[in-house]
Structure 1
Amino acid sequence: MLWAVSVFLILLLLPLKECTGASFRGLLSSLAENMEQSRESAQHASALKNFRSFSCTQRKDGLYPDLSSECSSYYRCLDGAVYSYLCPSGQILTYGSDECRPKTEASCPEVPPATGPCVNQPDGFYPNYSEKCRAYYGCQNKSVVGGWWCERGAVWDLSTGSCKSGGDLVCSPPSCWGLPDGPHPSPASSCNAYFVCKNGVRTDHICAYQTIFDYYHKRCMPNQSAVCYDQGCEGKINGLHSVPKAPCHVYLRCFNGALVGLESCPQNYIFDGQQCVLANNFSCWEEGQGTCQGLRDGIHAAPNSECRGFFFCRHQQLIRTFKCTQGLVFNGKECVRKENFVCNSQSIVCTNKTDGYHTVEKTRCKSFYLCRGGVKMSVHTCPGNNMFDGEQCVDPVLHQCLDNTRHQQTSNLTNRVTRSF
């Protein structure tokens, strides 16, 4: 376990060309030395646990102390990404400083600047960060109505509104350091809470029942119409990602499973799961369905959509569904005019079919599809008057397409095609 923690922290240091307050070699040496001490090892584990509770989204580049570690660890924000560091033993980092200093020469506040309890706060329960979330207080009509302690070492959990016990307890008060004025999602709250910054001072808020904080709209919205962007990067690889229920032109930039930025395509463009594209022939389709199990990365035709729907897969995960505009259909690659593609999606079923190409019934041999492992992989349509002869599209003088009601298996061992006569 110690080896894994060491590797993780070292990797976090690699992207930086130089280290603040010490040389890169000196910092790695200090890190290795500290890891050999059991007390310091626990400190490293705690720093990693708190890593997910700090966000650099919209925060200025710079160094920020981790108050939950009494400033013995800190974060560096760089282009929206967050990196975690540890000060050398006996040193801490104060906000505004560019290096760790001995504890006798620096100070660490208990909590960042914030308004008093219940000042401008909605009714509800809030963690008492001064007591490391082991206590909480209640607000009603902008006044404190009581304070309570969680029992047996539990801490107040914003995501569930309850006292929580277990091995992954984190109490990290949010700060307005480096953030612009306005609302921001509270980390580790499952979008059930947010805080408002004004002149560097934080005011905590919780969303009303059955609402969550929507980062794009900057307010609490009903669950069914809101998006929890704060969790949008969990389990995602580094890069750009779309989010179900989000506007078509909005996408996430993710790094190490954390949200780096919420970005938008230019006007008249939408995000197709990989990049911004001109939205002149299709749009997002929130009601669309599809499964990516066994499918390659890319776009695939959606079932029961009259050939207008399609969806995008990445790593066998459904990224987003789309729908061609009225008058257009999806031909397996793009949206085209109806007269240029024969739609018969209901008959395209690969269950119990051999791997290979199969002709779509009642299309006069113009359309065919590829099955693999019982899953439809792609749909094809021959151009012009060409017909599918079981292997490829050919001139109709080279192939006679008879009634589609009689089928036979070919003996082609190359792609095991089912032909129609």
Structure 2
Amino acid sequence: MVRFLKTTLCIVSIALIIGAAQAAGAGNNRRKQQEKKEEKKEEPEALDGASDQCPEPYGYFADAEQCDKYYECKDGAITEKLCPDGMVFNDYSSEYEKCDLPFNIDCSSRSKLQTPQPSQHCPRKHGYFSHEEKNVCDKFYYCVDGKFNMITCPNGLVYNDKAGICSWPDEAHKKGCSSEEVFQFDCPKVDEMVGATHPRYADPEDCQYFYVCINGLTPRRNGCKLGQVFDDTRKSCDWARKVPECADWYKGQLTDEQLEALENPPTRKPKPAASGTSRRRPQKKPAARQEEAEEWVHAQEFKCPERTGYFPDPVQCDVYYLCSKGVAEEKLCPDGLVFDDKDPNHERCDIPANVDCEDRTELQEAQPSKGCPRANGYYRHEDPQACDKFVNCVDGVPHELPCPGGLIYDDVASTCAWPAESHRKDCTNAKRDSLDDGFSCPPGDVTGPGGRTLPHPTFAHPDDCQKFYICRNGVQPQKGSCSAGSVYNEDTFMCDDPANVPGCENYYDEKPSSGGKKN
């Protein structure tokens, strides 16, 4: 059976669940090695919903029971607050007010949540959710304010509903979505020496794709870029005309002219200065009546192709029309999204990578914010060397996300891709992030309780008992701090009473009143 060629999009979303870590003790003079204490340890400080007392005069503090509820303290006055449905309060630091996706936060000790506000494909108003059909492994829903976008993982990956990220089937551990079930391919048996090279094998049914057998055992499907095929002799991708057994693979899919253009891309002519200008300018809104009048004029100019349905504007990709009984009403997608015109019976705005706008090149005026070129969408990380990360902007708020291991973000295709198949040529010298105090996440996996690899290990601060470091996805360092009265316990991997942490028993007695570090 021949599989048809398709373009997929990865929104790798968010594998950010704060983990415990096995911190190295070498070089840490303030900690002494001892056996773990068996008594119950104190959780990070949170407020009881019945309490009207602020633990500190200023700051933001988690509710003790409900993960999406928190409190703002101003000069000792307390105000209860609630995150948007589907988000939870990020309690890493009391200095910041931030609601985050549940994958980023440990809510095990405060598991209650507000009543869900579901809509089509969205169990809650915001977040990432699995496809309803259990055997659909590579698709999931991205919900913003109760409106969904269906996302397809890159070829060979499946949605990991525990981590909120597209990952390899053998890492997702999703029922019905194992490597063997997804790929229908078994790695040939090889000895350990060959297995250590992660051998590649041609897909027997599709010239464009091949399998990488991790350690010679676990198959992972990968693909060549459009116009290329896998050369099973050289074990690499090459142009179809150079591989005799696959020379005609694209016949009926691409013309000879298209294949030639892919192999030798023509130089693009610069666009006219006026191209992309929109008649809709949300940032410079006219008076309400004037805007309504303009929309009415545009709607009158549009001729409904059918009496009922949703139809694209012929010029602007994020404008569309609702036709009812032959009368058109103009509508506008959120900034960063465009109208998906595949089905006139459905009203749907989607990310540009999922929609072919063809000649509808105009867009509304961008509504940029820090880290977000537009209010919604997926964008390259601002650090050009952070190739394995990208930014998901939701209503102007950036959320930094990682690609699966070994992949980099391809901003041309809006997907995470293998470096060899990516359009990016600037990712040869990727750097390891470091904080202003010099801390960077140590290389290699960190094993935690139960022998499992921790996705987001934590490490003790070398000089301050109250502080610690979080390594998101093992590579992105972030500062953390326990609430006043607690210190970080590297044995229990959480904030604890100073009396339970050797070397930190007198931390608050010795700490200068100005808040400086312990000597």
Normalised to the residue count of structure 1, the TM-score between the two structures is 0.29
Larger RCO of the pair (alpha carbons < 8 Å, separation 6+): 2
More strand by share: 1
Normalised to the residue count of structure 2, the TM-score between the two structures is 0.25
Q: Answer with 1 or 2: which has the greater Rg.
A: 1
